[in-house]
Amino acid sequence: MGGVKVHNIHKTFGKNKVLHGIDLDVEHGDVVAVIGPSGSGKTTLLRCINFLEHADKGLITVGEQTVNTEKASKKEILALRRKTAMVFQLYNLFNKKTALENVTEGLIAVQKVSKKEAEAKARELLDSVGLQSKYGAYGSQLSGGQQQRVAIARAMALDPEVILFDEPTSALDPELVGEVLSVMRRLAKGGQTMIVVTHEMSFAYEIANKVVFIDQGLIVEEGDPRDVFLTPKDERTKQFLARFNLSSQYSI
Amino acid sequence: MNIDLSFVWQAFLYGLAYLPNTLKLAFSAFLLSLVFGIVIAGIRFFKVPFLARFFALFVTFLKGVPMLLVMFVVFASASRVVNGLAALLHLPFSAKDVSLNAIGIVALTIFGTMIISETIRGALTSVDNGQFEAGFSIGLTRTGALVRIVAPQAVIIAAPVLCNNIIGLIKASALCYMVMVEEVMSGTLKVASSNYKYFEAYLAAAAIYWALCIVIEMIAKILRAKLGKYRTKLA
C-alpha cells in the first residue's frame, strides 16, 4: 500500500481556472513524469499535493492519509506535508544554513532525531549525491547543480512517501543538468516514489514508468512512456511531442 | 564670531553628565519598541484578521504626526490617563508618582514602535517566500518556519536598519527636553542659561550626539560583518 492518489482536483486563481478536475494514481515505487506546455497546470497540480497551493476541491491521499481539500484542517495539512518532500525549481535551500544543516533541519526540527544521528545521516546522504567535500558550504558558495543535489538530499533525509520534483533541472545550464538527473535516476532505481514535473523529455522517457500529459488543466493522455511518446493518441499530445522529435531518436 | 571654546568644553562636560539618562531614554524606548514592533510586524505580516488592519491604520496615522507633537500629547494627557486608570482599577498611585522620564520613554516608544514595526515587516517581506515553502515542504509549521528559517534571515536584513532606528531614537530623545526631562540637551543648555552662550552649548550637545552615533555605527559595522557570513560568495 501507499503511493499517492489525487481525485478530482480543482484549482482557481482569481478568475483563472487552472485545474479542471484532475485524477492521478501513483503506486508506491512509481516514478511519474508530468509533462505539458507552460501554464498547463503541472506545477500547480504538484503544489496542490503538499498544500503549497490549497486546491478548491478534491481529495488527496498520501500513504494511508486522505485529506478533503474543502475542509482540510491545519493538522491534516501538516500530517500530509510530513509524508511528502519537495525539490524546487530554484532549489530554495535554507540561505542561512550550510549544506549539512539543510539536510539535518527536517530531521532535527520535525522528526526529532538527535543532532548526532541527524548529522550522520546527512553526511551519508550528501556523500551519496557526490557532495562529500561540501558539508560546510552555504548555498551561495555552491553551483546550481550542487545546490539542487543538496535539495534532493534534504528531501531524501525525511524518508517521505513521495518526493515531488518541480522542474528540478529547468534553472540549470545543460552541463549541470546531467549531475542532477543522474542522482534522480539512482533515486528512482532505489524504489523511491517520485512525481516529477519536467521538460526533460528523454529523462521522462527513460526513467518514468508512467507519463502524464497535461494541457489546460486536464490530463489529456497518460500511460507507459513508450506508448505516450512513441504512439500518442491525442492530437494535442502529438503536437506537443512532435517538437521533441523523439520518434526519430527512439525508433527501433 | 567669537566662540568661547572653554565654555564649549564646560558645557560638553556638563552635558556628558546627563548622557546616562539620554541612553536610558533611548535604549528603554528602543527595547520596548522592538518588542511591540515585532508583535505588530508579525500581526501584519501574517494578516491576522482585524488586528492587521487596525495596526496598519495605527502606523499610517503615526507616520503623519511629528514626534514633538506625540511628546506633547503624551505629556499633556499623562496625568489624566494615569489618574483615570488608577481610579478605574483601584490602584494606589496617581500622576504624581509618574516621573518625567517615564513620559519621555512612553512618547519615544510610541514613535519607535511605529518605525521599528516597519523595519521588521520590511525585513520579513524581503525574505524570499521560497524559504517559507521549503520549510513547509520538510514539514515545519508556519511558526516553525518563521522561527527556524525566516526570522534568522530577517534579523540580518533588519540589523543595519535597526541601528539607524537606535540613532533616530537617540536624536529624538533630545525632544524630551521640551517636556522638562533632564538629558544631554537640557543639560548643556542649563549651563548656558547663566551666560547666554547658547551657541557654544549647542555645539557641545552636537558633539556628544555625534560621538554617540559614531560609536553605534561602529558597533553596527562589526555586527554586520559577523552576521553576513553566509552571504559571502566564493571569489
The domain ranges of chain B are: 19-183
Q: In the sheet that A65-68 helps form, which strands lie side by side, from edge to edge?
A: A16-26, A4-13, A57-62, A65-68
| Contact at CB, B156 and A96, closer than 8 angstroms | yes
pLDDT, position B224: 81
B128/chain A closest Cα distance in angstroms: 9
Distance, in Å, from the CA atom of B155 to the CA atom of B167, rounded to the nearest integer, reads 18
Give the CA distances from residue A93 to residues A46, A112, A160, B145, in Å, rounded to whole numbers and listed in that order.
Answer: 19, 20, 18, 13
Contacts B156 to A, Cβ<8 Å: 96
Q: Show Cβ contacts of residue A161 under 8 Å, excluding neighbours closer than 6 positions.
A: A2, A3, A4, A28, A62, A63, A83, A84, A193
- List pLDDT tens digits, range B195-211: 898 999 999 999 999 99
Q: Which of A155-169, B58-72, B216-230 has the lowest mean pLDDT?
A: B216-230
pLDDT, position B234: 40
Distance, in Å, from the CA atom of A17 to the CA atom of A14, rounded to the nearest integer, reads 8
For chains A and B, CB pairs below 8 A equal 75
In A7-66, the residues whose Cβ lies within 8 Å of chain B are: 50-52
The pTM of this model reads 0.85
| Contact at CB, A141 and B234, closer than 8 angstroms | yes
ipTM, interface predicted TM-score of the complex = 0.92
**Residue A228: φ, ψ to 5°:** -65, -40
Q: Whole-number mean pLDDT of chain A?
A: 92
Closest Cα to residue B47, out of B149, B115, B116, B142? Answer: B142
Helices (H), A97-200: 99-109, 115-128, 144-157, 174-189
Contacts A81 to B, Cβ<8 Å: 136-137, 139
Q: Whole-number mean pLDDT of chain B?
A: 91
pLDDT, position B232: 53
In B57-86, the residues whose Cβ lies within 8 Å of chain A are: none
C-alpha cell read off for B34: 522592538
- The answer to whether the CB of B58 falls within 8 A of the CB of B163 is no
Chain A contact present for B231, CB below 8 A: yes
Average pLDDT over residues B30-43: 96
Closest Cα to residue A241, out of A183, A202, A210, A209? Answer: A202
pLDDT, position B91: 82
pLDDT, position A174: 86
In A215-244, the residues whose Cβ lies within 8 Å of chain B are: none
Place of cell 495539512: A77
User: Fold for domain B19-183?
Assistant: MetI-like fold (1.10.3720)
pLDDT, position B202: 93
Confidence of residue B235 (pLDDT cuts 50, 70, 90): very low
Query: How many CA atoms lie within 13 Å of B28's alpha carbon, on the beta-carbon side?
Result: 15
